[in-house]
Chain A
């Protein structure tokens, strides 16, 4: 039966390529278009450079040269800052790791048809718990880290699982519940940081003690730390879960058609709860990256109100950009991590405002989220006309 297997394998690959090449092309095109728009914005936003466009025809070298110098130095800094050196790559990896984890949490939920807006709250719980274990207990190397990581993931899993359980039992919509749970999580964090258990002795502001080095994610090279390996492992785990496990089969089935899944004997309620629990654990892992990952000065950043930033919301973007596929999410996370790292270089080296890198990210997402828009701008990507539902389901093609 080996020939048959090989044929099946090859046809599966061919299926994949024929089904997805356009997605990839559009993603790349979206990126390029966003860079173009970013370039225009940079030129327009800089009064000195844009003023020279008054002389576009009389002294084009002024206008175009100025614009080129501006844009090339900014994008040059972006590229160098993201991938230009081992340090840059390390920074990119450390920026990408939490985005990948939280993106997986959102993406996994997406696959089950759940819109997990709650990665933020789940990440907060992950960070909070991991940091607490990290600065409170005195434990040997290894054990301390394992406990902190597992604790953080468990906290995220509980926070996500509550949402799944509520949805399964009461039908409460997960979007509303997760949004509220985010508020509760950040409120809890703010409260806990005022308590003796969390607040650093001698400080009045909400900041925790420093995490013991025994609980820090070990650095491999600068900021390229073990957390990135964890993120990749999580991505591989999610891929296996979705594509190779029975649980993933039911997650995908419930996401694609809950009626058919239920008719086939799958429990939509149980699947929802399991999915949200796993998603919460993944988002919790993102929080752990913030709490235990070494910063530029080698030590983890102590827990504060805004430690996890907006990772839960950026994760939605990452999941969207990665089309909720683990590989896509890793790539999207790296892209965003690179934009973050490179964006810093754009600021510090080329003195481009932070807001511009954020606009760049937003434009990338805009184009990626609306493939039809990119296809309209670049008609050669259009290919076969989208057929209406009647033609697809009616069957007589």
Chain B
């Protein structure tokens, strides 16, 4: 029974429609101080819509918001903030060229004079109190993603927010940063704040949730106790039983397809970010490159595609053909499929339709083009087929790709890349920001691609994904290979290797006895 504590915040029967589409259908939610309330749901389940209603970004078509026993109507975020509601957005709402302190007072300038000193003091005070170390004078764009997020949290706290909404905060974080964030959230809870935590990562939910509410297709389909097993939660979310650990047949390894020898790549500043790297991927195997973000993975991926990469030494060959300095158009033609790390930025074009995006790298080829004329029928047919096959949830193939949810956009990118015959699939963070049901599907498709005889190279910062997909794991640290290990290597060992500790030392350094087999090929 929900108590009538007037300090809490209640959503009562919130309904929000977009045209004929019901995004939220009479949703009730009870948010209490000193609790972390997990809002769990697939992409497109209506979580963000609900929170945007609460934050005043959207106006509900029905229902009421009650804060501290008083019914409220928020016409804009300013009013929501005034009522003590703060939001940490998935895509940060920060001015990138401003400092931390400047961002903190943004929109709250009292009078014409900006009191930066007071802002700095406030940053220091809050960051000490909640253990959120941030330099008040650092410029946002220079900060790592995890620290930028801290600034977002500080901004909400500086507004004296009592109710904090975290919209998929871990989607952009490394495992370490995720652990840090969890600690911060616990601290905030213990301090009496009410926290709404939106996520679809079940491990995180199990770790910190005090209460769990599951949303599916705009409705609340149930709540769960914090101890509920992951597969049970996944079932609630998706509406059917889900395989969390895909069972993949053992790799049937063939000839070497991708060979990288002594590869060194420089970034635009001339710094060597991939340093004398050697590895190979055979037909029918998945090599996962594990490592903390920013250790040369992006540049390695770009070099393989030939996109804006400055290869200063070494060679890349695919099926014996040198592609070291090939341009994307040539590598794509040679059978390289590429799933970029940042799909919004590199993977698709938001203002293009779904159909157009599905031929983004093949629009010049038959049957999509006859000479220089596009064949719209073939493009539409291809789209209809792939939307069906990959379960891309969209009203129409003519809908703009920018309107797809994160998971569906990722399905679109994978559908495009996997729908042609590949010699090599390079996929960076293939399931980042994607919900459980879709992860299962995408993982299956990647394994299927392997089994057609393609070489598969996966870049991932998520150890679960590495474990699930890899046939071998290459750990990268500062542009170099720390070692190639088996996928069942204990997490602690992988973690140490990702910090640059060589394999042998990592085994003796970690408490668990390792089952690593070192070099295999």
A contact set with B: CB distance below 8 Å: 1, 4-5, 8, 11-12, 15, 244-247, 249-250, 252-253, 256-257, 259-267, 384-385, 387-397
Contact = CB atoms under 8 A, between A and B. Distances in A.
B369 A262 contact: no
Nearest to A243: B374
Nearest to B16: A397
A259 B52 contact: no
B398 A390 contact: no
B44 A257 contact: no
B159 interface: no
A257 B373 contact: no
Interface of A is mostly: helix
A390 B347 contact: no
A262 B307 contact: yes
Nearest to B308: A262
B329 A390 contact: no
B328 A391 contact: no
Interface in B323-350: 327-329, 331-333, 338, 340, 344-350
Contacts of B332: 264-265
A395 B49 CA distance: 9
Given A265-B327, A392-B402, A246 B369 contact: yes
B377 interface: yes
B352 interface: yes
B407 interface: yes
B346 A259 contact: yes
Contacts of A397: 18, 23, 44, 46, 48-49, 403, 405
B11 to A, nearest CB: 15
Contacts of B398: 8, 11-12, 15
In the complex, the 10 A-B pairs of residues with the closest C-beta atoms, listed nearest first: A395-B405, A396-B48, A265-B329, A264-B361, A265-B328, A264-B360, A395-B406, A257-B349, A263-B346, A265-B332
Contact of B59 (A4, A245, A385, A390): A385
B409 interface: yes
A8 B41 CA distance: 31
Contact of B349 (A5, A261, A395): A261
Contact of A256 (B168, B344, B351, B399): B351
Given A8-B380, A253-B360, A263 B374 contact: no
B45 interface: yes
Which one of A12, A260, A261 has the highest number of Cβ atoms from chain B below 10 Å of its Cβ? A260
Contact of A263 (B333, B340, B352, B405): B340
Interface of B: 18, 23, 41, 43-49, 52, 57-59, 89-91, 93, 167-168, 305, 307-308, 327-329, 331-333, 338, 340, 344-352, 356, 360-361, 363-364, 369, 372-374, 376-377, 380-381, 384, 396-399, 402-409
Given A259-B345, A393-B91, A245 B58 contact: no
A396 B405 contact: yes
Nearest to B171: A394
A33 B405 CA distance: 39
A2 to B, nearest CB: 11
A396 B47 contact: yes
Contacts of A260: 345-349, 360
A394 B167 contact: yes
B348 A391 contact: no
Contacts of B356: 249
A263 B338 contact: yes
Contacts of A12: 398
B58 A385 contact: yes
A392 B399 CA distance: 13
Contact of A249 (B45, B93, B363): B363
9 contacts: A244-B374, A247-B372, A249-B374, A263-B305, A264-B332, A394-B167, A394-B168, A395-B407, A396-B41
Nearest to B384: A4
B405 A391 contact: no
A15 B399 contact: yes
Given A244-B376, A260-B348, A395 B402 contact: no
Given A244-B373, A253-B352, A265-B332, 16 more contacts: A8-B380, A8-B397, A245-B373, A246-B369, A246-B374, A257-B351, A260-B346, A261-B349, A265-B328, A266-B328, A267-B329, A390-B167, A393-B402, A397-B23, A397-B44, A397-B405
Contacts of B331: 265
A385 B60 CA distance: 12
Contacts of A252: 352
Which one of A247, A261, A396 has the highest number of Cβ atoms from chain B below 10 Å of its Cβ? A396
A245 B372 contact: yes
A394 B406 contact: yes
A385 B348 CA distance: 26
A396 B46 contact: yes
Contacts of B407: 395
B90 A390 contact: yes
A396 B44 contact: yes
A266 B91 CA distance: 28
A255 to B, nearest CB: 9
Contacts of B43: 395-396
A304 B90 CA distance: 59
Contacts of A4: 384
Contacts of A261: 349, 360
A148 to B, nearest CB: 27
Contact of B404 (A247, A259, A395): A395
A256 B380 CA distance: 21
Contacts of B327: 265, 267
A245 B374 contact: yes
B45 A396 contact: yes
A130 to B, nearest CB: 27
B360 A391 contact: no
A397 B93 CA distance: 18
Contacts of B333: 265
A256 B373 CA distance: 20
Nearest to B351: A256
A207 B506 CA distance: 85
A162 B383 CA distance: 38
B63 to A, nearest CB: 17
B91 A263 contact: no
Nearest to B344: A393
A397 B19 CA distance: 12
Which one of A4, A12, A385, A397 has the highest number of Cβ atoms from chain B below 10 Å of its Cβ? A397
A257 to B, nearest CB: 4
A384 B403 CA distance: 15
A265 B361 contact: yes
Given A390-B90, A397-B44, A246 B361 contact: no
A244 B356 CA distance: 12
Given A15-B398, A263-B307, A397-B23, A391 B58 contact: yes
A391 B47 CA distance: 11
A236 to B, nearest CB: 14
Contacts of A388: 57, 93
Contacts of B349: 253, 256-257, 260-261
Contacts of A385: 58-59
Contacts of A256: 349-352
Given A263-B346, A391-B48, A397-B49, A5 B167 contact: no
A387 B51 CA distance: 13
A9 B59 CA distance: 34
Contacts of A250: 363
A325 to B, nearest CB: 13
Nearest to B42: A396
B328 A262 contact: yes
Contacts of B350: 256-257, 393
A114 to B, nearest CB: 16
Contact of A396 (B49, B91, B384, B399): B49
